[in-house]
């Protein structure tokens, strides 16, 4: 009896491992199937990816339709679908056709982005017009210049009538009038604002600051604090930066350029994606009038 029990236990242990044989056979067959399918593939991955991305951007999603043949069995009334098969002969899409489809999808995407950039330029221009009217009513319109670039709407507080005195970062009386005229419009919108300080184009050693960088940064912070403390613009909408004398608004050899290049820029940042903002400056060309165009040095 003891021998019989040992034989039964051995057979039971052997039976418990038989499923491994079937499992190994199934894995082998699946691997062979995937190898065959991969070998049959003739897709140009780069062109397919370009087409896929172009169509996805244009339509907001991708879709695939697999075509096959259907047949109705007379004896059972059931329907079966034949497996999809690759196009052959004249039905295959040639490379020129694929390139044409990709180019059409890309052109549609470019048109869509250009239209979105035009709409954003219209919106920023309307904000600029509000600011222009506000500064005209306050009699300080000559102390601002506006343009639209890849960042958004740039409102430059220039120093024709001394927004900042030499070597200091304290707003003058005139400077406070300018900010007070612009601030109500900025408070009504929701976009983030970045405040950039600039000194004039002549490298100097400020009397109360170590370098031009310190002075320009201090001027930016002064305007940020004024917008926060005087006009209650949310601090999380505000940021400040200093550029010293590195980014003049007017060419350095232009008469009177020093009075303009010493400035603070209030930038209304566009919230559009980068592919749209990259087209903003071109879309906004001549919208703010020829007197507002920035001449790069």
Whole-model pTM: value is 0.66
Q: What is the pLDDT of residues 26-43, one digit of tens each?
A: 888 787 777 767 666 655
pLDDT in tens, 103-154: 888 888 889 999 999 999 999 999 999 999 999 999 999 999 999 999 999 9
Place of tokens 């900025």: 186
The radius of gyration of the chain from alpha carbons, rounded to an integer in Å, stands at: 34
User: Are 102 and 44 in contact, with CB atoms under 8 Å apart?
Assistant: no
State residue 88's pLDDT score: 47
Instruction: Please state, as a whole number, how many other Cβ atoms lie within 10 Å of the Cβ of residue 258.
Output: 17
Element (H, E) at 193: strand 193-198
Q: Per residue in 233-251, pLDDT tens?
A: 999 999 999 999 999 988 8
pLDDT tens, the chain, 297 aa long: 555 555 555 555 555 666 666 777 788 878 777 776 766 665 566 666 666 676 566 555 444 444 444 444 445 454 444 444 444 444 455 577 777 877 888 888 889 999 999 999 999 999 999 999 999 999 999 999 999 999 999 999 998 788 888 888 999 999 999 999 999 999 999 999 999 999 987 777 788 899 999 999 999 999 999 999 999 999 999 999 999 999 998 888 888 888 788 899 999 999 999 999 999 999 998 777 644 444 333
| DSSP secondary structure letter of residue 141 | G
User: How many angstroms separate the CA atoms of 234 and 237, rounded?
Assistant: 6
| Mean pLDDT taken over the chain | 80
How far apart (Å, rounded) are the C-alpha atoms in residues 163 and 66?
68
Both tokens of 73, joined, read 């069995």
What percent of the chain is predicted at pLDDT more than 70?
Answer: 70
Top CATH class, 110-292: alpha beta
Q: Rounded to whole angstroms, how far apart are CA atoms 169 and 278?
A: 33
């Amino acid at each position: 009896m003891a021998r019989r029990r040992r034989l039964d236990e051995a057979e039971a242990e052997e039976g418990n491992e038989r499923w491994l044989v079937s499992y190994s056979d199934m894995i082998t067959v699946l691997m062979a199937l995937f190898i065959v399918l991969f070998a049959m593939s003739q897709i140009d991955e780069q062109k397919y990816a370009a087409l896929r991305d172009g169509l996805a951007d244009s339509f907001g999603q991708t879709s695939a339709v697999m075509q096959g043949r259907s047949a109705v069995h007379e004896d059972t009334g059931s329907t079966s679908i034949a497996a999809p098969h690759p196009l052959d002969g004249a039905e295959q899409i040639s490379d020129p056709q694929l390139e044409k489809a990709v180019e059409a999808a890309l052109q549609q995407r470019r048109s869509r982005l250009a239209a979105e950039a035009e709409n954003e330029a219209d919106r920023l221009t309307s904000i600029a017009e509000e600011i222009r009217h506000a500064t005209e009513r306050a009699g300080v319109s000559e102390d601002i210049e506006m343009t639209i670039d890849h960042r958004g709407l740039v409102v430059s507080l220039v120093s024709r009538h001394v927004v900042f005195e030499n070597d200091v970062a304290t707003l003058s009386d005139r400077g406070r009038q300018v900010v007070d005229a612009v601030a109500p419009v900025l408070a009504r919108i929701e976009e983030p604002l970045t405040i950039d300080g600039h000194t004039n184009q002549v490298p100097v050693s400020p009397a109360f600051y170590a370098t031009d960088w310190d002075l320009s940064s201090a001027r930016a912070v002064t305007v940020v604090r004024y917008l926060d403390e005087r006009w209650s613009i949310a601090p999380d909408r505000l940021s400040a930066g200093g550029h010293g004398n590195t980014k003049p608004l007017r060419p350095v050899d232009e008469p009177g350029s020093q009075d303009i290049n010493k400035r603070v820029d209030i930038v209304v940042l566009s919230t559009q994606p980068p592919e749209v903002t990259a087209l903003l400056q071109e879309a906004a060309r001549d919208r703010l009038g020829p007197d507002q165009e920035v001449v790069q040095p």
